[in-house]
């Protein structure tokens, strides 16, 4: 299995740190967020990595090179300074990803998720998402889970805003920034700027609520400059404290 790390965003929320450094290259605990991901993917045996970039992308390629020192092989999808959003970036990188299902990981999170146990993706699903219980700063969550029929097992992801707002809507969870998808679930022709909601079509995404921790670093209390500095302050924590609920 290959993995794609999304690293093209501008990082508006934590400017000015990202004025001169791409957000996924900012350091946490002495190493960049991208380095944490590469080490975890290598431990899981996932060696072929695609990283997209737009804002200050040359710094990412310079810092990581071909990935050899991390035990992986990196291919870069250059969006030439204009981020194509999540789905647009993935579609743009499809020639590098091949025809098999692949992992998609947000480059600006830290997580203890075990990539050796990727979310399962069945033939009828557009994607399989890792969800976590809602953190304090995002109490309303993103999506809900709908149990499928017993013979099928697992959960469908409920993303429709009207159904999520209904009084009898099931509890919501927060998207962790980790998913598995397949090239066949993505639009084959159109390239450009667009978000994931345009990718699913009639194929239903599946969902997993997992006991993992992800931290989306979105707040700062200091103003270090350059990529050699670590982020500080109160990171946004998304910690799952419940038991693991897995799909098929």
Q: Are 87 and 183 in contact (CB under 8 A)?
A: no
Confidence at residue 170, expressed as pLDDT on a 0 to 100 scale = 87
Joined together, the tokens standing for residue 92 give 């743009």
Q: Are 239 and 135 in contact (CB under 8 A)?
A: yes
Task: Name the residue among 125, 52, 58, 119 with its Cα closest to residue 86.
Answer: 52
Listed as ranges, residues in the chain with pLDDT below 50 are: 189-205, 207-214, 217-248
Confidence at residue 150, expressed as pLDDT on a 0 to 100 scale = 56
Label residue 232 exposed, middle or buried (CB < 10 Å: 0-12, 13-18, 19+): middle
Confidence at residue 33, expressed as pLDDT on a 0 to 100 scale = 93
Q: Are 37 and 115 in contact (CB under 8 A)?
A: no
Confidence at residue 222, expressed as pLDDT on a 0 to 100 scale = 32
User: Residues 6 or more apart from 187 whose CB is under 8 A from it?
Assistant: 91, 198, 199, 201
Q: Is the dihedral of CA 89, 95, 99, 105 positive or negative?
A: negative
Confidence at residue 48, expressed as pLDDT on a 0 to 100 scale = 96
Strands (E), the chain: 2-6, 27-28, 31-32, 48-53, 73-78, 102-106, 109-111, 125-132, 143-147, 155-158, 172-181, 204-209, 213-216, 236-239
Q: Are 51 and 5 in contact (CB under 8 A)?
A: yes
Q: CB under 8 Å, gap of 24 or more: what pairs does 80-83 form? A: 80/54, 81/54, 81/55, 81/57, 82/54, 82/193, 83/8, 83/9, 83/10, 83/54, 83/55, 83/193
Domains and CATH numbers, the chain: 2-239 (3.90.550.10)
Q: Are 155 and 208 in contact (CB under 8 A)?
A: yes
Confidence at residue 149, expressed as pLDDT on a 0 to 100 scale = 66
Confidence at residue 209, expressed as pLDDT on a 0 to 100 scale = 46
What is the C-alpha separation between 74 and 67, in angstroms, rounded?
5
Sheet holding 236-239, edge to edge: 109-111, 213-216, 236-239
What is the C-alpha separation between 152 and 185, in angstroms, rounded?
20
Write the secondary structure of 154-181 as one string of H (helix), E (strand) and C (coil): CEEEECCHHHHHCCCCCCEEEEEEEEEE
- Collapsing DSSP to helix, strand or coil, 28 comes out as strand
Joined together, the tokens standing for residue 136 give 């304090």
């Amino acid at each position: 299995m290959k993995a794609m790390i999304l690293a093209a965003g501008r990082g508006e929320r934590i400017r000015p740190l990202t004025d001169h450094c791409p957000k996924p290259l900012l350091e946490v605990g002495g190493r960049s967020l991208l380095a944490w991901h590469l080490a975890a993917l290598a431990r899981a045996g996932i060696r072929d990595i695609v990283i997209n970039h737009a804002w200050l992308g040359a710094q990412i390629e310079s810092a990581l090179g071909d990935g050899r020192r991390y035990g992986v092989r990196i291919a870069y999808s250059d969006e030439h300074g204009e981020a194509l959003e999540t789905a647009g970036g993935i579609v743009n990188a499809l020639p590098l990803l091949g025809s098999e299902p692949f992992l998609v990981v947000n480059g600006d999170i830290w997580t203890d998720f075990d990539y050796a146990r990727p979310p399962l993706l069945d033939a009828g699903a557009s994607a399989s998402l890792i969800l976590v219980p809602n953190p304090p700063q995002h109490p309303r969550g993103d999506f809900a889970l709908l149990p499928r029929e017993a013979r099928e097992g697992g959960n469908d992801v409920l993303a429709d805003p009207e159904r999520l707002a209904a009084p009898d809507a099931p509890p919501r969870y927060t998207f962790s920034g980790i998913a598995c998808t397949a090239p066949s679930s993505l639009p084959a022709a159109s390239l450009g700027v667009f978000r994931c909601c345009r990718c699913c079509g009639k194929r239903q995404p599946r969902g997993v609520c997992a006991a993992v921790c992800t931290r989306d670093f979105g707040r700062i209390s200091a103003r270090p400059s350059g990529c050699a500095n670590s982020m500080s302050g109160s990171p946004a924590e998304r910690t799952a404290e419940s038991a693991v609920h897995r799909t098929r």
